[in-house]
Copies of this chain bind each other. A is one copy, B any other.
Amino acid sequence: MATENIAFIGLGNMGKPMALNLVKGGKKVTAYDLNAQAVKELEAAGGKGVKSVSEAVAQADVVVTMLPSSPHVQEVYLGGGKLLASAKKGALLIDSSTIAPDVAKQVAKEAQAKGFDMVDAPVSGGVGGAQAGTLTFIVGGSEALFEKAKPILSLMGKNIFHAGANGAGQVAKICNNMLLAIHMIGTSEAINLGLANGMDPKKLSEIISKSSGRNWSVETYNPCPGVMENVPSSRGYEGGFAVELMAKDLGLAIEAALSTKTATPLGGLATSLYRMHAEQGASRLDFSSILRFLKKA
């Protein structure tokens, strides 16, 4: 593949290491972010910083955006950011933000109306995955666009899934994360119940991990301090995936449920529990700290 010019919009905790991996992969990266320090770091690594979204995208073959929420995406693409108004004809637009599926569809529709190729490609894997280039991308868009985006995404991630049409990347992401929240709370309840009834949490986790209760939380990201090394629960729930971000993703899931008249009893309860946990002071802790919210250590 020829070396493309890539514009990267949004050099936050996730975006910056992703952009750096594109530079490392040999791409010519032109980036924009309000944070001058982040731009400087990218420039030090060989990228180029510019003063506006318009400037960043003007010559780009591929545009990658990594923004905090739906309104930011709307603003950058359709509003004051003027991305759609400024991008090069035929550019491939990749939005890796986690946003409402309806907004993803709307932006993609407007992009296509102006002749752009666009996919939604939200990620999972956290800051660690972004740095290591091992993110998972879940892509919404046509099969052809999926294939077109894949080589770029592969520079930043390891698993690249095709979920379906535009918006499907977002849908799959929020379905996955809602389920993750549910089994993380469920795992915490099960371990807590075992503890209260005299069981060793390590032994209990081992048994569940080999039985029908098994899930990603109990097997790889155990919420109980001391059961596993190198997970947030064993370092005071520092690092990892913040309670506030999980609450945000759950909010997207519930909005998608409301707008499609879908019942999500456990998903809705998980949303309230994470919100309460955040309000009680845990918003920056890893989401596995929900165990602590069930019972004070």
Residues on A facing B (Cβ under 8 Å): 101, 124, 136, 138, 159, 161-165, 167-168, 171-172, 174-180, 182-183, 185-187, 189-194, 196-200, 203-204, 206-208, 210-216, 218, 221, 247, 251, 253-258, 260-273, 275-276, 278-281, 293-296
Q: A182-B182, A256-B197 are in contact. Are A176 and B208 (CB under 8 A)?
A: yes
A227 shortest CB reach to chain B, Å? 14
Minimal Cβ-Cβ distance residue in B for A200:
B164
Q: Which of B161, B175, B190, B263 contacts A294 (CB 8 A)?
A: B263
What are 6 A-to-B residue pairs whose CB atoms are below 8 Å? A176-B207, A177-B213, A193-B264, A247-B261, A265-B276, A268-B269
Chain B residues near A192 (CB, 8 Å)?
262-264
Chain B residues near A253 (CB, 8 Å)?
193
A281 shortest CB reach to chain B, Å? 7
Q: Which of B180, B182, B268 contacts A272 (CB 8 A)?
A: B268
Interface of A is mostly: helix
Docked CA distance A25–B191 (Å): 36
B268 touches A281 (CB 8 A): no
Docked CA distance A132–B156 (Å): 47
Q: A178-B186, A198-B165 are in contact. Are A193 and B279 (CB under 8 A)?
A: no
B198 touches A171 (CB 8 A): yes
Docked CA distance A294–B273 (Å): 9
A261 touches B216 (CB 8 A): no
B270 touches A266 (CB 8 A): yes
A214 shortest CB reach to chain B, Å? 5
B189 touches A159 (CB 8 A): no
Chain B residues near A218 (CB, 8 Å)?
179
Q: A198-B165, A262-B295, A263-B279 are in contact. Are A179 and B175 (CB under 8 A)?
A: no
A263 touches B280 (CB 8 A): no
Docked CA distance A185–B183 (Å): 10
B262 touches A172 (CB 8 A): no
Chain B residues near A254 (CB, 8 Å)?
254, 258, 268
B163 touches A207 (CB 8 A): yes
A146 shortest CB reach to chain B, Å? 12
